[in-house]
Amino acid sequence: MPALYLRYRPETFQEVIGQAHVTTPLQHALAAGKTHHAYLFSGPRGCGKTTSARILARCLNCAQGPTDTPCGECPSCVELARDGGGSLDVVEIDAASHNGVEDARELRERAAFAPVRDRYKIFILDEAHMVTQQGFNALLKIVEEPPEHVKFIFATTEPEKVLTTIRSRTHHYPFRLVPPGDLLSYLHTVAETEGVELEPGVLALVVKSGGGSVRDTLSLLDQLIAGSLQHGVTLEAAQALLGYTPASTLDEVMVGLSTGNSRATFTALNHLLNTGQDPRRFVEDLLSHLRDIIVIQATSGASEDLFPGVSSDDLNRWGEHAQWFTPQQLTEMAQAVSSALAAMSGVTSPRLHLELLVAQLLSLTTAQDVETTKVSPEHHSGLSQESVAVPTDQSANASDSERSPEKSEPPPTDAVEPLSPWDLGVVKSHWPAIIEDLSDRKRSLWVALSATQPLALEGDVITIGFTNRNDGEILKKPQGPGSPLPNADLLREAIYQRTGHRLRFTVGQIEHAPSDDSLSPDAQWPVVSRSTSESPGQAVTEQQEPQEVSEEVSESGVEAEASTTPIATRGEPVVRQLLGGELLAEEILEDMSGRGEADV
Ligand SMILES: [Zn+2]
C-alpha cells in the first residue's frame, strides 16, 4: 500500500491545508483568467510546493479551464490526478540532478515545441535553487519571453539562491510551515478515514515531531500505525518511537526542581539516561515544557486553545507545574536551559552538560528567597507518582506554612534561647540540621558546606573543617552580586536559629569527608561525584596545591597534613562556580585572602 502522504496528496487547491495565503490568490487569479507565465513557489520542505505546482498545472490544462477547480474528468485532469500516469505536456524536472547548462539548453529546445494535446506546455522545476548560474543564464531568455504556450513553475526551499533576474520574472508565492491546529484536525480526518484508534495526545506528539511539514507528519503517523497492534496506537508507544521524554520523567524532574530535592531530580535523570535517551533531546523537551508552563502561567490556565490536541489531564498537570514556580524562576530556568542547549551541540559529553544544567536549575529554583505566592508540592517527600499528580490543596498549604519560617528573614528581636550546656559536642550534634537549613537559603553555600564538620569551639569562635581548606573561602564571599554581606552571615544566622549562639568562624581542614550519618541525605549529591570523573582538570589542579594549615587547627588535634584527597574535592569547585555567582567575587576574594587567617 502506498504511503499515507501519497494516498492523501491533494488534487485541488481546496484540499491543500494551511496555505490559504497562497492558494486563495492563486485560485482568484485562475478564476479571473489572469495567469502569469512563470511562478516561484518557495517554502520549507514538505509543506506543499510541488503538490501545489501539480495542482496549478492541472488547473491550467483542464479542458474546462484555465479554472480554479479542475473538472477531474477530462484526460488531462485524469492523468494529473493522484494516481494518474502523468501528462506529456507537464514536464517535471528535478533540478538537483539536472542543473547544468546542457540540461537548461535541452529544456529550452523542448519548450519550443507546441503542447502535444493540452493548452500549455508546463515545466515544473523542483529544487530550483540547485540550477547552476550558467543553467539559469541559459534559461533566462526563455523565462523572460516565453512562447505563448509555455508556463514555468519553480519550486524551491531557498528562493534567495534563484537568480534574481529569473526571480523578478516570476510571481512569487511563499509557502509556510503548516500551523499545528490545521495539521491536527487534518490528522484526525486521516486517522478516521484509515479507521485507526489513537490515544489522546498521540496526534499532538506527531504534529510536534512533524515540525509543520505535512509530508513528515504523515510519514510519522504512517510509521506509528504500521508499528501498532490492532487496538491502535498508545501514547507510550508514540513517545518511545518519536523519542520524546516520557511525561512521567518530566513530571519527576519538575517536582524535584520545585522542592529542591536534588536526589529525586538526579535519580529521575539517571533512569532516563540509562534507558538510552539522548541528553540533548531531554534538554529540548525540558525547554519546550518550560515554554508550555510559562504560557499556562501567563494565561492563568485559560489556555486550552493554545494547546490543540493536548489532553485535559496533561493540561491540568502542567497547570500544577506552573503553580510551583514564580514567573521569574520560570524565565530564568528557560534561559538557562536554552543556553545549555546551544552549548550542547557537538560536545563530546552531553550528559555532563545536562547534569551541570540540572544542578544550575536546582540552584535557580531554591537559591533566591521564594515568593510567598509559590505553592509547592510536598516538601522533600517520597515523590510517588500519585502524590505528585494530585497534590491536594491541604498538602500544598501545609507545606507552604511549614516552609514559611525558613523563608522569612528572622527578625532581630526574635531571640532564641541559647543552648546550655554548650560545647563542641552540642555543635556537632546540630550541625547536619544547621547545614540542611541552608539548603533553602542559598544552594551553593549548602553544597559547599555539606561535607564540613565542626572541629573546635573556643569561646565564640568555631573552627569549621573543610575537606579542602581553600573551600572555606566561600564564607567570605558576598551573598550575592553587589551584596555587602558575606555568606558567613547566613551560616551565623542558621547556627543562631538552631542553638541561640552567635559564633565567629575560622577555617580548618579535615582529611577526609565525614561519615555518612553526619550528612543530610541530600548531601550525597550525585553530580559531585559524577562530574569528578568527567570534568576537565584545570580548576581542580589549582585547588590541589598544598594548603597552609592554621595553628588553631593543629592544636585541635586534627590531622594537619595538607594532602587533599583528590577524590573528595575534585569537581566541586567546578560545580560551585556553575551553581552560584561566585566568579564575580573572585577579586574581592583575592584581596581578602591576603590578610591571613580566615576570621570572618
Ligand atoms: Zn479537467
Q: How confident is the model at residue 539 (pLDDT cuts 50, 70, 90)?
A: very low
Q: What is the pLDDT of residue 97?
A: 81
Whichever domain contains 186, its CATH number is 1.10.8.60
Query: What is the DSSP annotation of 186-253?
Result: HHHHHHHHHT--B-TTHHHHHHHHHTT-HHHHHHHHHHHHHTSBTTBB-HHHHHHHHTPPPHHHHHHH
- Beta carbons within 8 Å of 65's beta carbon, 6+ residues apart: 30, 59, 71, 119
Residue with the larger pLDDT of the pair 415 and 135: 135
Are both 195 and 255 inside the same structural domain? no
**Are 17 and 164 members of one domain?**
yes
- pLDDT value at residue 167: 87
Residue 245 carries which side chain, given as an amino acid letter?
A: T
- Domain identity same for 146 and 232: no
Of 258, 383, 276, nearest to 325 by C-alpha is 258
Three-state DSSP string of 303-336? CHHHCCCCCHHHHHHHHHHHHHCCHHHHHHHHHH
Strand pairing class (171-174; 38-42): parallel
Q: Give the Cα separation of 361 and 336 in Å (integer).
A: 7
CATH for 69: 3.40.50.300
Percent of all residues in the chain with a pLDDT value above 90, rounded to a whole number: 19
Looking at the fold, whether 582 and 478 belong to one and the same domain comes out as no
pLDDT band at residue 393 under the 50/70/90 scheme: very low
Residue 275 inside a domain? The answer is yes
Q: Are residues 156 and 77 in the same domain?
A: yes
Within a domain: 517: no
Over residues 351-384, the pLDDT tens digits come to 888 999 999 999 887 765 444 344 455 443 433 4
Contact 213, 45 (CB under 8 A): yes
Of 147, 174, 201, the residue that ends a domain is 174
**68 close to 84: Cβ distance less than 8 angstroms:** no
Same domain flag for 15 and 164 = yes
Residue 205 lies in a domain: yes
Distance 89 CA to ligand 1 centre (A): 14
* Same domain for 252 and 106: no
Summarised one tens digit per residue, pLDDT across range 291-334 is 989 998 888 766 677 887 777 778 888 888 888 898 999 999 99
Length of the chain: 600
What integer pLDDT is reported at residue 443 of this predicted model? 73
pLDDT greater than 70 at residue 215: yes
Structural domain includes residue 518 = no
CATH of the domain at 281: 1.20.272.10
CB-count burial class (<10 Å; 0-12, 13-18, 19+) for 34: exposed
Q: What is the pLDDT of residue 373?
A: 42
Q: What is the pLDDT of residues 21-37, one digit of tens each?
A: 999 999 999 999 888 99
Which amino acid is located at 258 in the chain? S
- Residue 23 Cα to ligand 1 midpoint, Å, equals 18
Between CA 401 and CA 280 the distance in angstroms is: 38
Give the per-residue pLDDT at 559: 43
Report residue 104 as a C-alpha cell. 537548461
Q: Which residues surround ligand 1, an ion (CB under 5 A)?
A: 62, 70-71, 74, 77
In a domain, 567, yes or no: yes
What's the confidence (pLDDT) of residue 404? 39
CATH number at residue 499: 3.30.300.180
Q: What is the pLDDT of residue 381?
A: 40
Q: Are 309 and 184 in contact (CB under 8 A)?
A: yes
The answer on 155 and 47 residing in a single domain is: yes
Do 124 and 22 fall into the same domain?
Answer: yes
The predicted structure's pLDDT at residue 482 = 60
Please check whether residues 394 and 353 belong to one and the same domain: no
- Tell me whether residue 195 is in a domain: yes
Residue 12: inside a domain:
yes
pLDDT at 518: 43
The CA 76 to ligand 1 mean position distance, Å, reads 6
Ligand 1 center from residue 71 Cα (angstroms): 4
Q: Is pLDDT of 275 > 60? A: yes
Residues 29 and 169 reside in one and the same domain: yes
Establish whether the linkage from the previous residue to 70 is cis, with ω within 30° of 0.
no
Q: What is the pTM of this model?
A: 0.55
Q: Which three cell numbers stand for residue 348?
A: 563530546
Quick one: 40 and 17 in the same domain?
A: yes
List Cβ neighbours of 133 (8 Å cut-off, separation of 6 or more). 163
Total count of domains within the chain? 5
Three-state DSSP class for residue 404: helix
Average pLDDT score over residue span 144-151? 87
pLDDT reported for residue 367: 60
Is residue 515 one of the residues assigned to a domain? no
**CA 28 to ligand 1 center in whole angstroms:** 18
Residue 144 alpha carbon to ligand 1 centre in Å: 29
Confidence (pLDDT) at 386: 38
Choose the final residue of a domain: 316, 334, 365. 365
User: How far, in Å, from the CA of 453 to the mean position of ligand 1?
Assistant: 88
| Residue 446 CB partners (closer than 8 Å, separation 6+) | 435, 436, 438, 439
Calculate how far, in angstroms, residue 72's C-alpha sits from the geometric centre of ligand 1.
5
CA–centroid distance, 526 to ligand 1, in Å, is 69
Q: Please give the average per-residue pLDDT across 209-233, as a whole number.
A: 85
Query: Considering only 5-9, 76-80, 170-174, 486-490, which range has the smallest mean pLDDT?
Result: 486-490
Final residue of a structural domain among 189, 221, 242 = 242
* Winning range, highest mean pLDDT, from 26-30, 250-254, 515-519: 26-30
Please report which residue ranges of 345-413 form alpha helices under DSSP H. 350-367, 385-389, 393-407
State the residue range of the domain holding 111. Answer: 4-174
Q: Is the pLDDT of residue 547 over 70?
A: no
